[in-house]
Chain A
Amino acid sequence: MSSTKNKAETISNRVMQRSTWYKFKRLCRQYPLGAIGSFIVFIVVFAAIFADFVAPYDPTTTSAKMSLSPPGSAMLFGGDMMGRDVLSRIIHGARISLAVGIGSTILGGVLGTIIGLMCGYWMGLFDLLIQRLIDMMQALPLLVMALVMAASLGPSLENTIIAISIPLVPQVARVIRSNVLSLRELPFVEAARAVGMSDRRIIFRHILPNTLAPLIVLGTAQLGSAILTEASLSFLGLGVPEPYPSWGRMLSESAAEYVRVAPWLVIFPGIAISAAVFGANLMGDAVRDFLDPRNQG
């Protein structure tokens, strides 16, 4: 009796596994560009987590002998002006890019969601004032705003995350607010109000879960621009300071000066930034298509 039960469980597990694998393959076929993007993002995440094991050298170890050594068997992507391995610095740089990218997207997302939920649910004077403030914040390009914030906060990993997250807040707040405005009129919210639920409980238990789809779409779209903004800030010398190896700063250190003699210092960090942003953008596009109700069924 028990062996039949075990057999049935094994078969059901296999079917589940097969159906998960089948679903995954079907998704890849349906969104080929999204699959490529997710694969690139997976590689960047893998490099960031296992940098200590994957990188061939320590990213900060200098060697006068290897200074500006071209790509070869000793150093696959060549060495920089201080003889540090470019490949190892790129692998460790993934940590910074992801930390800043994901950190600022989450921080901007959380702040924007709270503001959007409050504005959409309560409306009135508070909403009016916050909307005007958002109008004002959107009157400056992302990079200019981040530049001013980074300059006033000073260069550090945490400050870079804050400097990039604040300009991301208005867009999230706008999207969540417009979503909440339509949700608050639906019968389930009315019913929750009728049974005497507190506003806080209605907002966080009932409205928030229904705003997750646009939030995920916006978050994946903002991840790419957050990584790009971090690279730009570091390139201008206002991002994450030494000793962290940042892709943007690797480019600024090699800019113009070494363009003639060591093109690998320009090519490889640039490919790393472009690939990470490209992957995040492809993934964002696919997530948007996947969650778009017009594309379902």
Chain B
Amino acid sequence: MYSYLIQRFLLMFLTLLGMSIIIFVLLRLVPGNIVDIMFDSAGFVDPAEKATIEKELGLDLPIYQQYYHWIAGLVSFDLGYSFVSEMPAIDEIGPRIPITAKLAGLSLFFSILFGLPLGVISAVKQNTALDYILRVFSLSGLSLPSFWLALLILMACVSYTGSIPIYTEAPETLWDELLLYLLPSAAVGFRASALIMRLTRSSMLEVMRQDYIRTAMSKGASDNAINYKHALRNAVLPVTTIIGIEAAFLIGGLIITETVFNIPGVAHFLVEAILMRDYPIVQSLVMFIAIIVVVINFLTDLAYAALDPRIKYSD
């Protein structure tokens, strides 16, 4: 077990190191830097002034030194300064993390709440009208762009309540916060629930063909006991993987939803930083997302052993 953990930790470290190189290189694919863009938009170039700004921002250093400074900063939680606000990047990013974390948590809650039971029902009622309806419903969840769903929700709110429920000021109470995050998280959770539902269905169908289910049926066990106690418990392992992956990848859905609902979270901030070419913020945020994904994948792996006693990470 310990050797497996150490091995996984090392692999995680290597993956993140490689990710940091990919992110760093990707953001420097195109020749030119933020100073070029600033001077291009201003319409004039004073070489001396340009050189001063480049020196201030550390852009005159060779690329490997820039990378070294960035990584050294990351390790000591010094993410550099935002080109736009000139504030420390950590101060810009830090307060936004809890907002996105709450949204992501609520979205995941919705997706499991609807995805799991509907997947079981769809499998149990295989090839019936209900199964077809649920399958079309789940496919539509994968097909509707989350930004369109978010806009439709806004439209419905406008016509029924006369107001647009977008973020204008920080909520004061927990209840206000819940109300504010409810709609955006439902929009994001809809897609994730569709994925969970599809996988639960196929996994349940696989398990329902096993002999021990037939044995349970012949013993006279109730449908609920067969479906939820015998079948679902064994079908849940692949579903755990997809829940883990979805938890990590929810950030993709949040990017758009936070933008539509004007929520000042990490995902919305990433889009703003990309549009403003604020590279210190972009590379730190993308690295942050990569760390979250890699850590959640690791935790999902560990959850396997807890859920399925047949899996042992023995030495």
Interface residues of chain B: helix, strand, loop or mixed (majority): helix
Within the assembled complex, what's the spacing in Å between the Cα atoms of A148 and B27? Answer: 7
Number of interface residues, chain A, beta carbon within 8 A: 45
Q: Which residue of chain B lies nearest to A152 when distances are taken between CB atoms in the complex?
A: B29
| Interface membership of chain B positions 145-170, coded 1 if the CB is closer than 8 angstroms to chain A and 0 otherwise | 10110011011001000001010000
Q: Is B218 an interface residue (CB 8 A)?
A: no
Query: B139 — which chain A residues lie within 8 A by C-beta?
Result: 278, 281-282, 285
Of B16-24, B41-49, B224-232, the segment with at least 4 beta carbons within 8 Å of chain A is: B16-24
| Given A152-B30, A259-B151, A259-B158, A231:B145 Cβ within 8 A | yes
Q: Is B235 an interface residue (CB 8 A)?
A: no
* Contacts of A78-103 to chain B: CB distance below 8 A: none
Interface residues on B, range: 35 or more
Q: Is A187 an interface residue (CB 8 A)?
A: no
Q: Which residue of chain B lies nearest to A229 when distances are taken between CB atoms in the complex?
A: B252
Q: Which residue of chain B lies nearest to A150 when distances are taken between CB atoms in the complex?
A: B274
Query: B29 — which chain A residues lie within 8 A by C-beta?
Result: 149, 152-153
Query: B28 — which chain A residues lie within 8 A by C-beta?
Result: 152
* Contacts of A131-160 to chain B: CB distance below 8 A: 132-133, 135-137, 139-144, 147-149, 151-154
- Asked if A152 contacts B26 (CB within 8 A), the reply is yes
Interface residues of chain A: helix, strand, loop or mixed (majority): helix
Candidates A140, A141, A148; contact of B282 at CB < 8 Å: A148
- Asked if A274 contacts B19 (CB within 8 A), the reply is no
| Interface membership of chain A positions 44-87, coded 1 if the CB is closer than 8 angstroms to chain B and 0 otherwise | 00000000000000000000000000000000000000000000
| Given A144-B252, A270-B152, A274-B140, A256:B260 Cβ within 8 A | yes
- Asked if B249 contacts A141 (CB within 8 A), the reply is yes
- Asked if A147 contacts B140 (CB within 8 A), the reply is no
Query: A267 — which chain B residues lie within 8 A by C-beta?
Result: 152
Of B56-64, B113-121, B178-186, B288-296, the segment with at least 4 beta carbons within 8 Å of chain A is: B288-296
Q: Is B286 an interface residue (CB 8 A)?
A: yes
Q: Is B51 an interface residue (CB 8 A)?
A: no
Chain A contacts to B: CB under 8 angstroms: 33, 132-133, 135-137, 139-144, 147-149, 151-154, 224, 228, 231-232, 235-238, 248, 251, 255-256, 259-260, 263, 266-267, 270, 273-275, 277-278, 281-282, 285
Given A141-B252, A259-B154, 10 additional A-B pairs, CB 8 A: A132-B14, A139-B294, A140-B290, A148-B23, A151-B27, A151-B282, A232-B147, A236-B275, A256-B164, A270-B144
